[in-house]
Structure 1
Amino acid sequence: MSPEQGLSNSDVPWDSFDSDAYFESNYRWLLREDAEIIGIVADHFRRWAPRPGRAGAIDVGTGTNLYPALTMLPFAERVTLFERSLSNRAWLTNQLREPAESWEPFWAEMRGRPEYDRIAGPLDRLASCSQVVKGNLFDLAPRGYDIGTMFFVAEGITTRTEEFERAVRVFMASLTAGAPFAAAFMRDSWGYEVGCQRFPACPINEDDVQRCLAEVARIDAITVVDSRGLREGYSGMIVATGLVAG
């Protein structure tokens, strides 16, 4: 039995999450897998997002990852970075004030698309239009946002399948009918280490994602990104794009 088996979201000490360690391990450099996901999501939002600059956007469980919010930037009047962890909220506040240079290659993956090319200073723009908001995913109010992202959250906060499924449903319910969304998941993950702490995960695959979204979304695509070899304990990344069901 793994140490995290049977853990729910409420059992995890999120406020002591080592934000710096997680950033250094995952976002200090642009990985091939993230570059592939960025292209999928940027193309999806170009096709389906509301008129540029008018939408209310949310990124659920931002952690130390700014690129989901950046994919929504051309279409958003305001961006909510919704985060439970105290340490992650402090990290985000500091990062918006003084962003790391490593975000530039992430933005470069979005360039070449007119909506993104119109933004000269994406990190400055994100800082001016975003707000870091304390909140538990399961307390999200319904139908509050016009576009949304949730990356590596639903399957990475619990070992329980029913809680994973509820996280996906609550995220989808927080968006207005017809809203474009992008959600990413670690495939077959059995947990992960950040600094000296171990955190839970629910081992899911693309069929689980399809089943969760089938009743609440018009699915555009579910793509498995091969990331074997990046680290042990999972078998890839899954990115799902689509529109919220009306």
Structure 2
Amino acid sequence: MSARSSGDAQVMNADVSWEAFDSTAYVEHNYRYLQPEDAEILHIIRDHFGGHFRKPDVGPVSGIDVGAGANLYPALALMPWCDEVTLVERSPANVKYLRGQLDNYRPNWDQFWDVLGEHEAYGDFSIDPRQQFRKVVKVEQGNIFDLGRFGPPRSAGTMFFVAESMTTSYEEFTLGVACFMRALAPGAPFAAAFMEHSKGYYTGKKFFPACDVGESQVRASLEPFADRFEVHRLEAKDRVRDGYSGMILSYGWRGNSDAQVPVGRPD
């Protein structure tokens, strides 16, 4: 089954039954064990955030993870540096899952924290990670297109497998990236991950749409908002599912500009 199987009709974010997202099946399939690609991503973002926040004169930090889904590791990467990390998620099922992890997150997430802890900046973090998670993380139900209602721009942010995994529309993809970047203050470090050339995906028995993007589209979506950033393609060593060709990770810093969202699709 394809997201474009019915006359190539666009599937917009508002058309999707997000309440049908099977959080349990999603975590079991994707995060019960640490996948090689996620381990590689963790190595990169721990260097990025660890290097940034170990600099002197970094003040109080507010973080945001946009479209958290049922994935805790972006929040784990942010939490040592943050006085508050807000997980914004649209699906009621995922919101319930996330709130159920606040007091004592499940043991499968320990392997993700262990990779972060191999970096000295995280290894020097003396507070028990579950205590810190309980202290700083909060969960809010909300839409990526309405992030302004969650407060002023944040000083750090993540968005993993969201903008390309909620619609088949390239315009909505670019708007989603723009909304994420506009939720960050100038100079804020960020990390964003994307499924490359995704054709859509299942959680349990429910199919969800995706926008087919590659490195050039990811780069074009970020360029109006980031002065310095990198884009890395991660080869799919052991694919977690069918229907995609790899993963793309971008990380960098929010720029001072607030350009118009690009309309055309780059080649």
TM normalised by structure 1 equals 0.95
Which of 225, 233, 236 in structure 1 is aligned with 2:246? Answer: 236
1:46 Cα deviation after fit: 1.7
What fraction of aligned residue pairs are identical, expressed as a percent?
A: 43
Aligned residue number for residue 56 of structure 1: 62
Aligned residue number for residue 211 of structure 1: 220
Q: Is the 8 A contact 2:3 2:210 kept in 1?
A: no
Structure 1 segments (4+ residues) deviating >6 Å: none
Q: Is the 8 A contact 2:104 2:134 kept in 1?
A: no
Which of 14, 25, 33 in structure 1 is aligned with 2:18? Answer: 14
Q: Do structure 1's residue 128 and structure 2's residue 135 form an aligned pair?
A: yes
Counterpart amino acid of residue 135 in structure 2: S
Q: Is the 8 A contact 1:9 1:157 kept in 2?
A: yes
Could you tell which deviates more after superposition, 112-121 or 9-18?
112-121
Tell which structure's C-alpha radius of gyration is larger: 2
Partners of 1:111 and 1:52 in 2: CA distance: 21
Matches within 5 A, 1:99-110: 99-110=105-116
Which of 82, 91, 98 in structure 1 is aligned with 2:97? Answer: 91
> Quick one: structure 1 residues 52 and 32, their matched pair in 2 at CA, closer, same or farther if it must change by over 3 Å?
farther
Q: Is the 8 A contact 1:52 1:75 kept in 2?
A: no
1:114 Cα deviation after fit: 3.0
1:90 Cα deviation after fit: 0.5
Q: Is the 8 A contact 1:143 1:173 kept in 2?
A: no
Q: Is the 8 A contact 2:88 2:139 kept in 1?
A: yes
Partners of 1:193 and 1:219 in 2: CA distance: 34
The number of residue pairs the alignment matches comes to 246
> Quick one: structure 1 residues 169 and 66, their matched pair in 2 at CA, closer, same or farther if it must change by over 3 Å?
same
Could you tell which deviates more after superposition, 182-191 or 211-220?
211-220
Q: Is the 8 A contact 2:191 2:252 kept in 1?
A: yes
Partners of 1:69 and 1:119 in 2: CA distance: 17
1:96 Cα deviation after fit: 1.8
Q: Could you give the per-residue CA deviations for residues 143-184 of structure 1, whole angstroms, max 9, x where no partner exists?
A: 521000000000000000000000000100000011000000
> Quick one: structure 1 residues 188 and 195, their matched pair in 2 at CA, closer, same or farther if it must change by over 3 Å?
same
Q: Do structure 1's residue 200 and structure 2's residue 209 form an aligned pair?
A: yes
1:53 Cα deviation after fit: 7.8
1:73 Cα deviation after fit: 1.4
Secondary structure of the structure 2 residue equivalent to 1:21: helix
Secondary structure of the structure 2 residue equivalent to 1:182: strand
Partners of 1:126 and 1:74 in 2: CA distance: 9
> Quick one: structure 1 residues 53 and 80, their matched pair in 2 at CA, closer, same or farther if it must change by over 3 Å?
farther
Could you tell which deviates more after superposition, 133-142 or 116-125?
116-125
Aligned residue number for residue 157 of structure 1: 166
Partners of 2:58 and 2:24 in 1: CA distance: 33
Partners of 1:120 and 1:63 in 2: CA distance: 26
Is there any run of 5+ residues in structure 1 with no aligned partner, and where?
Answer: none
1:60 Cα deviation after fit: 0.5
TM normalised by structure 2 equals 0.88
1:98 Cα deviation after fit: 3.2
Aligned residue number for residue 265 of structure 2: none
Could you tell which deviates more after superposition, 187-196 or 134-143?
134-143
Q: Could you give the per-residue CA deviations for residues 110-169 of structure 1, whole angstroms, max 9, x where no partner exists?
A: 113233121442122112211101110000118521000000000000000000000000
Partners of 1:65 and 1:152 in 2: CA distance: 10
> Quick one: structure 1 residues 162 and 155, their matched pair in 2 at CA, closer, same or farther if it must change by over 3 Å?
same
